Amino acid sequence: MALVVLDAGHGGSNPGAVYNGRQEKDDALALTLEVGRILEENGADVYYTRSSDVYESPYQKATEANLVGGDYFVSIHRNSSPYPNQYTGVETLVYNQYGEAARLAENINENLEAIGFVNQGVNERPNLVVLNRTKMPAVLVEAGFINTDADNELFDERFDEMARAIADGILETIYS
């Protein structure tokens, strides 16, 4: 069975994006743990870069993923924009638009779109350490904008469906 390395973005002294008291590190951790639970229920092996409120650098996370021999690396974050309610939706970042990582990103985005998120697409970010230092297909999921009220409403009210959508996108990629 595939080993999926799940990375909850930020953590510890690094809150990530913050909006009205809401911190990206908390949303990312809650969602990551639930995605992992669903993956394990469906037979996947899961390794977490963090399961509590601690900080590791992106370089440490990529190194860890390589050391445990992950087959896939999924980093979960929340997006943010310069102004509240400026943008909405999910996007998934990849090192490049080709191959298994791009397929994984598309599967995740399509499933999140099906529960009501705007699909902002799969975009290349070759400069991100967790995407360019990992030796396995790697994606960074921006699970809605933390400073957009509509996205927070979806995150809070459809949390279980959101976790299921991300997990299903991963499982579809593993099993197809």
Q: What 3-state class would DSSP assign to 84? A: coil
Give the active site residue among 24, 34, 64, 142.
142
Q: How many CB atoms lie within 10 A of CB 81?
A: 14
Q: Can you tell me which residue has the tokens 């279980």?
A: 160
Model pTM score: 0.98
Output the 3-class SS for 115-170.
CCCCEEEEEECCCCHHHHCCCCCEEEEEEEECCCHHHHHHHHHCHHHHHHHHHHHH
Given this model, what pLDDT does residue 21 score? 96
**Per-residue model confidence as pLDDT tens digits over 52-81:** 999 999 999 999 999 999 999 999 999 999
Q: Can you tell me which residue has the tokens 């499933």?
A: 111
Given this model, what pLDDT does residue 176 score? 86
Nearest to 75 by CA among 86, 53, 91, 88: 91
Q: What CA–CA distance (Å, rounded) separates 23 from 36?
A: 20
Q: What CA–CA distance (Å, rounded) separates 49 from 160?
A: 21
In tens digits, the chain (176 residues) has pLDDT values of 899 999 999 999 999 999 999 999 999 999 999 999 999 999 999 999 999 999 999 999 999 999 999 999 999 999 999 999 999 999 999 999 999 999 999 999 999 999 999 999 999 999 999 999 999 999 999 999 999 999 999 999 999 999 999 999 999 999 98
Given this model, what pLDDT does residue 1 score? 81
> Is 64 among the residues known to form the active site?
no
Structural domains of the chain in order of their starting residue, each with its CATH number: 3-175 (3.40.630.40)
